Amino acid sequence: MKYYLLGQDLWSIVRGAETTPPTDEENLKKWKVRCGKALYVLSISVEDEFLQRIKDLTTPKEAWDTLETLFTKKNDAKLQLLENELMSLRQGDMAVSQYFTKVKSICNEIAKLDPQNAISETRMRRIIIFGLNPKYNGIITAIRGWATKPTLIELESILANQEALDNQMSKVSINEEDKALFSKKGGRKEVQAAANSDSESKGPQRRQGWQKGQHKKGPEQRGGTQSRFRDYEEQKRHRRKDGLCYNCGKKGHYARDCWARKEEGNAVTLKQDENEEE
């Protein structure tokens, strides 16, 4: 605001040698015109709550002094809030660059409100170090042993490089843990799949053996019985097809009328009779 008034040649009637009105009529008229311009600039530059305090004033000096008093009181409260925020600020989840930017921003606002007590770079560095996360304690201890202390830019660069290295190492460790977990799960799945495959392949064979009642028989017994049964069935089919007797294998009669069976039956009867006579 001050520089704008200086550029418009109005600062002299606000806080300079022309704050009091001239005595002659011609200069007084010009002075009032300039006062009107200065009051207009001041009124459009403040909020409504401050405008109500200066709207009835007649000179730019009175308006400026009133605004200065009001802003000083308000600035004191704001300044105290900024200082409290700065002293309680910690890095927490913020990245190094974000943390440095936050501290610098608060310090710049304090300097605007109180230019005579602006925060120096040395104090700003101490505030930043105090609020850093504990994982950077080793670097800070090493820096304190240096003959020449690093500037804020150098300190930010050192901490940012360490932060990038830590992030890279954490990603590598996470990838290794994922690989180990995946290999364990994969090994278990392969073993389980092999066991399931083995049981499935042996299951039907076992069930088939139990169903046929051959689980207690040896290979020779199972094979001999089956082969004889197949040969007998095959002979029956051939005889039925050719019209042969199932008993003697000749044509012209059935097995129930076969003479060979009757003769065999008579021979058996005779033998039984001889046994009874003895």
Q: Could you report how far apart the first and last alpha carbons of the chain are, in Å?
A: 157
Q: Does the residue 82 lie in any domain?
A: no
Token digits of residue 204: 């039907």
CA 221 to CA 224: how far, in whole Å?
5
Contacts of 173 (CB under 8 A, 6+ apart): none
pLDDT at 41: 85
Q: Structural domain of residue 249, as residue ranges?
A: 224-277
Q: Does the residue 205 lie in any domain?
A: no
Q: Does the residue 129 lie in any domain?
A: no
Per-residue pLDDT of the chain (278 residues), as tens digits, is 777 887 877 888 888 788 888 888 888 888 888 888 888 888 888 777 777 778 778 888 888 888 877 777 767 788 889 999 999 999 999 999 999 999 999 999 888 888 888 889 999 999 999 999 999 999 999 988 888 889 999 999 999 999 999 888 887 766 555 565 556 555 555 546 655 655 555 555 555 554 545 444 444 444 556 666 676 676 666 666 566 676 777 776 666 677 665 555 444 444 554 454 44
CA 18 to CA 23: how far, in whole Å?
12
pTM, 2 dp:
0.45
160-191 as b/e, with b when 16 or more CB fall inside 10 Å? eeebeeeeeeeeeeeeeeeeeeeeeeeeeeee
Cα angle: 265, vertex 269, 275; to 5 degrees:
145
HSE toward the beta carbon, residue 16, CA cutoff 13 A? 11
Domain end marker among 33, 54, 77: 77
The domain total for the chain is 2
Q: pLDDT for 91-149, tens place per residue? A: 999 999 999 999 999 999 888 888 888 889 999 999 999 999 999 999 999 988 888 88
Q: Write the DSSP string, the chain.
A: -HHHHHHTT-HHHHHSTT-SPPSSHHHHHHHHHHHHHHHHHHHHTS-HHHHHHHTT--SHHHHHHHHHHHHHHHHHHHHHHHHHHHHH---TTS-HHHHHHHHHHHHHHHHHH-GGGPPPHHHHHHHHHHTS-GGGHHHHHHHHTSSS---HHHHHHHHHHHHHHHHHHHHHHHHHHHHHHHHHHHHHHHHHHHHHHHHHHHHHHHHHHHHHT-TTS-HHHHHHHHHHHHHHHHHHHHHHHHTB-TTT--BSS-GGG-HHHHHHHHHHHHHHHHHHH-
pLDDT at 15: 81
Q: Does the residue 217 lie in any domain?
A: no
pLDDT at 210: 45
pLDDT at 252: 67
Q: Does the residue 169 lie in any domain?
A: no
Q: Does the residue 212 lie in any domain?
A: no
Q: Does the residue 260 lie in any domain?
A: yes
Q: Does the residue 244 lie in any domain?
A: yes
pLDDT at 126: 92
Domain end marker among 26, 56, 77: 77
CA 75 to CA 81: how far, in whole Å?
10
Domain end marker among 54, 77, 100: 77
